[in-house]
Amino acid sequence: MSCPFGGGGNRVPKGGTGKDDDKKLTYGSYLQLDKLLSCVDLQSAAVSTPVHDEHLFIVTHQAYELWFKQILFEVNSIIDLLGQVPVDEKKQLVMMNRLERIVQILKLLVDQIYVLETMTPLSFSEFRDYLSPASGFQSFQFRLLENKLGLKPGMRVSYQRQNYASVYSEELQATLKKSEEDPTLLNVLERWLERCPGLEEDGFNFWEKYNYQVRAYLNDHLTRAEAAESEAQRDQILNDHKSVKETFDVILDTDKYKALLARGDVRISHKALQGALLISHYREEVRFHQPFQFMTRLMDIDSLLTKWRYNHVMMVQRMIGSKPGSGGSSGYHYLRSTVSDRYKVFLDLFNLSNYLLPRNYIPPLTPGMKRTLSIPNLNTSVDGSMFRRFQIGSPNRGGAGPLSSSPGSLGRGSLPGTPEDAIFEVLSSSDGDEEDDSDQSPPANGQIVFSA
């Protein structure tokens, strides 16, 4: 098909003969511009003298809604792809591309507010009274987007002491209700993280190793305190130790974590958090490159939505001050309350930084886990796939060099009574002819599926 925009378009509508020029596809008919451009209907013109800036106000908000439609289209497709078990690894670059597209659209929406701010408060006041009871709160697509990403109803700020969906028709309320119950982007992300290779208790068992290294890290704080040259320095180190220990206790104590999850202070399961920490610590391994970038893009989405909310709040304060919103809300004060962590869907990914260990404390990878993160199953694509099956039962040794280790590659922390030599033995047991697979217990088919 020739591009209809390049002057060579010769496609005709279904049922057309192509003989009638009126039936040929054109730029205008393809985009339905007759409908689209006729949608600017100034309320000021219907009541009194048309207000020039109302035209900008309408077009800007229509543009927002068109972009919301596109973002929803992309989010739905990513949920469908990431929700497959196993994930079609041929689609991993597609998902990354669509996430990046959402990020770029949101950047555009953040900047679009600056265009609207070229309208002065006085100009806005000329037509604002004609807008009541319409309100930006009534943007159905934006509420749907929040739900699709994974915002839970209990995290929303109350709007006039009513359910947020009460401003919509029964049909739209039903759609919103369904979106609360359907799998969200947060849901499918959580299930994927829970299946991250390396969490298996009879395999690499990252969580046990991580716990050990955290205790070693905290123990070294106490050792430093004992060796402090002054009492002031000692007290400072002990205060730091207390603060760091309290931070780690939040995730090391599963009961505490479950309590936070029940309150909504954290969003993902404890197992999913383990997977996210595993990816974050070993993000430089080949097979974790793209999973790490995937999580980063999700944080970008949260960050940009927060920036958009903030810019919106500042614009509203500039335009109407502390006056009530046109829909009856408290206006600026209501909007300001939405610029908070409670509206960050992927908050747990931001908080991973609280629990990252210094590089010299990161548990070293065993030879089997090293292979899992670097050698793909030859029966699958080898394009650096993000969600892949790995052959770990019988590795192909023909093209692989010897695995080796050195003290510099190991975590330096250790607990009293636990010699590091035991760890050295495991990593040094491979001489190129034999490799220790004891850290992996593959399924019957010899594969680990890293997908959700």
DSSP per-residue string spanning 330-391:
-THHHHHHTSSGGG-TTHHHHGGGGGPPPGGGSPPPPHHHHHHTT---TTS--S--SS-EEE
Considering the domain architecture, whether residues 56 and 23 belong to the same structural domain is answered as: no
pLDDT tens for 138-186 read: 899 999 999 999 999 988 887 667 888 988 999 999 999 999 999 999 9
Percent with pLDDT over 90 in the chain:
60
For residue 448, give the 3-state DSSP assignment: strand
Say how many domains are in the chain: 2
Q: In the prediction, which pLDDT does 334 show? A: 77
- Kindly indicate the confidence band of residue 400, based on its pLDDT and cuts at 50, 70 and 90: very low
Is residue 365 a part of any domain in this protein?
no
The DSSP secondary-structure symbol of 401 reads P
Q: Contact at 8 Å (CB) between 388 and 450?
A: yes
Q: In the prediction, which pLDDT does 255 show? A: 93
Between CA 72 and CA 311 the distance in angstroms is 22
Is residue 179 a part of any domain in this protein?
yes
Alpha carbons within 13 angstroms on the beta-carbon side of residue 284 total: 5
Q: In the prediction, which pLDDT does 331 show? A: 66
Please indicate whether residue 418 or residue 354 has the higher confidence score (pLDDT). Answer: 354
- Kindly indicate the confidence band of residue 330, based on its pLDDT and cuts at 50, 70 and 90: low
Please indicate whether residue 407 or residue 293 has the higher confidence score (pLDDT). Answer: 293
Considering the domain architecture, whether residues 82 and 4 belong to the same structural domain is answered as: no
Is residue 188 a part of any domain in this protein?
yes
Residue length, the chain?
452
- State yes or no: pLDDT of 447 exceeds 50: no
Between CA 379 and CA 385 the distance in angstroms is 13
- State yes or no: pLDDT of 402 exceeds 60: no
Q: Which helix (H) or strand (E) holds 57?
A: helix 52-82
Is residue 168 a part of any domain in this protein?
yes
Considering the domain architecture, whether residues 34 and 54 belong to the same structural domain is answered as: no
Between CA 316 and CA 338 the distance in angstroms is 13
Considering the domain architecture, whether residues 1 and 64 belong to the same structural domain is answered as: no
- For the chain, the average pLDDT equals 81
Query: Any idea what the CATH number is for the domain that residue 336 is in?
Result: 1.20.58.480
Q: What region, left, alpha or beta, does residue 321 occupy, with left being phi > 0 and alpha being psi -120 to 50 degrees?
A: left
Is residue 310 a part of any domain in this protein?
yes
Between CA 83 and CA 145 the distance in angstroms is 17
Q: In the prediction, which pLDDT does 336 show? A: 85
The DSSP-derived string for 39-50 is ----HHHHHSSP
Is residue 73 a part of any domain in this protein?
yes
- Kindly indicate the confidence band of residue 107, based on its pLDDT and cuts at 50, 70 and 90: very high
Please give the backbone phi and psi of residue 143, each rounded to the nearest 5 degrees, phi first.
Answer: -65, -40
Q: What region, left, alpha or beta, does residue 446 occupy, with left being phi > 0 and alpha being psi -120 to 50 degrees?
A: left
Between CA 302 and CA 233 the distance in angstroms is 39
Between CA 147 and CA 181 the distance in angstroms is 9
Q: CB 401: neighbour CB atoms within 10 A?
A: 7
Which tokens in the block code for residue 38? 């006729």
Please indicate whether residue 316 or residue 413 has the higher confidence score (pLDDT). Answer: 316
Considering the domain architecture, whether residues 26 and 1 belong to the same structural domain is answered as: yes
Alpha carbons within 13 angstroms on the beta-carbon side of residue 396 total: 10
Between CA 189 and CA 294 the distance in angstroms is 10
Considering the domain architecture, whether residues 293 and 340 belong to the same structural domain is answered as: yes
Q: Contact at 8 Å (CB) between 219 and 241?
A: no
Please give the backbone phi and psi of residue 369, each rounded to the nearest 5 degrees, phi first.
Answer: -70, -35
Burial degree of 369 (CB within 10 A; 0-12, 13-18, 19+): buried
Highest mean pLDDT among 72-76, 83-87, 366-370: 72-76
Indicate the pairing of strand 447-449 with strand 389-391: antiparallel
Please indicate whether residue 327 or residue 232 has the higher confidence score (pLDDT). Answer: 232
Q: In the prediction, which pLDDT does 395 show? A: 39
Please indicate whether residue 384 or residue 121 has the higher confidence score (pLDDT). Answer: 121
Considering the domain architecture, whether residues 69 and 183 belong to the same structural domain is answered as: yes
Considering the domain architecture, whether residues 13 and 100 belong to the same structural domain is answered as: no
pLDDT tens for 76-98 read: 999 999 998 887 767 888 999 99
Considering the domain architecture, whether residues 189 and 71 belong to the same structural domain is answered as: yes
Q: In the prediction, which pLDDT does 376 show? A: 54
* Averaged pLDDT, 94-108: 97
Residue owning tokens 């969003």: 267
Is residue 337 a part of any domain in this protein?
yes
Between CA 271 and CA 316 the distance in angstroms is 41
Please indicate whether residue 101 or residue 48 has the higher confidence score (pLDDT). Answer: 101
Is residue 110 a part of any domain in this protein?
yes
Considering the domain architecture, whether residues 119 and 143 belong to the same structural domain is answered as: yes
Q: In the prediction, which pLDDT does 326 show? A: 53
Range of the domain at 332: 50-193+288-349
Q: In the prediction, which pLDDT does 21 show? A: 62
* Burial annotation 331-347 (CB, 10 A radius, 16+ → b, else e): bbebbbebbeebbbbbb
Closest listed residue to residue 145, CA positions, set 63, 57, 67: 67
Q: Which helix (H) or strand (E) holds 179?
A: helix 170-181
Question: By 3-state DSSP, what share of the chain in percent is helix, strand and coil, each rounded to 5?
Answer: 60, 0, 40
Q: Contact at 8 Å (CB) between 269 and 190?
A: yes
- Kindly indicate the confidence band of residue 383, based on its pLDDT and cuts at 50, 70 and 90: very low
pLDDT tens for 37-48 read: 999 999 999 988
Q: In the prediction, which pLDDT does 206 show? A: 97
Whether omega before 86 lies within 30 degrees of 0, making that bond cis, reads yes
- Kindly indicate the confidence band of residue 320, based on its pLDDT and cuts at 50, 70 and 90: confident
Q: Contact at 8 Å (CB) between 354 and 409?
A: no
Which distant-in-sequence residues (6+ apart) come within 8 Å of 400 by Cβ? 371, 375
pLDDT tens for 228-258 read: 889 999 999 999 999 999 999 999 999 999 9
* Averaged pLDDT, 101-117: 96
Considering the domain architecture, whether residues 11 and 129 belong to the same structural domain is answered as: no
Between CA 160 and CA 144 the distance in angstroms is 20
Q: Which helix (H) or strand (E) holds 240?
A: helix 231-252
Considering the domain architecture, whether residues 164 and 138 belong to the same structural domain is answered as: yes
- State yes or no: pLDDT of 397 exceeds 50: no
